[in-house]
Amino acid sequence: MNLHVINGPNLNLLGKREKSIYGDESFEPFFASLQKLFPEIQLEYFQSNSEGEIIDKIHEIGFESDGIILNAGAYTHTSLAIADAIAAVTTPVVEVHISNVHAREPIRHHSYLAKNCVGVIAGFGLNSYRLAIQSFIR
């Protein structure tokens, strides 16, 4: 099985960014620990701050990958275009958030993406990604 983690804008700053919300761990070492935890899964990682690049990546892998774990960051709450990209491909997508977006500002309560995803995992810190990977293991 191969799974792709896609991180959206500002998530390249994990470990430096608003540590009280997102923690003090940067993503790359965490991702390496996920690869060790799930040696049977081919795990790939892509990050972009650009909406178009995220859409291009979904198009590129979205007919071949076994699953996409997508944290679209703030685009979650704004991007009909990413929602359409998720609907356009055949690969199932799990929406992930580090923080509990429902306990935050009202603008973060709505996701354009969720209705096109198989599920949403939010609020478990970086463990949200681990839970999303586990959701693909039957």
The site string for ligand DQA over 6-45 (x = CB under 6 A, - otherwise) reads: ----x-----------------------------------
To the nearest whole angstrom, how small is the minimum distance from the Cβ of residue 121 to ligand DQA?
Answer: 10
To the nearest whole angstrom, how small is the minimum distance from the Cβ of residue 95 to ligand DQA?
Answer: 9
Selected from 6, 70, 89, 97, the binder of ligand DQA by CB under 6 A is 97
Q: Which stretch binds ligand DQA (CB under 6 A): 39-47, 54-62, 92-100, 113-121?
A: 92-100
Selected from 74, 81, 87, 103, the binder of ligand DQA by CB under 6 A is 74
Per-residue CA distances from 47 to 32, 73, 105 (Å): 15, 11, 24
Handedness of CA 106, 134, 89, 42 (dihedral sign): positive
What single-letter amino acid sits at 133?
I
To the nearest whole angstrom, how small is the minimum distance from the Cβ of residue 77 to ligand DQA?
Answer: 6
Cα gap 126→106, rounded to integer Å = 22
Cα gap 58→37, rounded to integer Å = 25
The binding site for ligand DQA (CB under 6 A) comprises 10, 71, 73-74, 76, 97-99, 101, 108
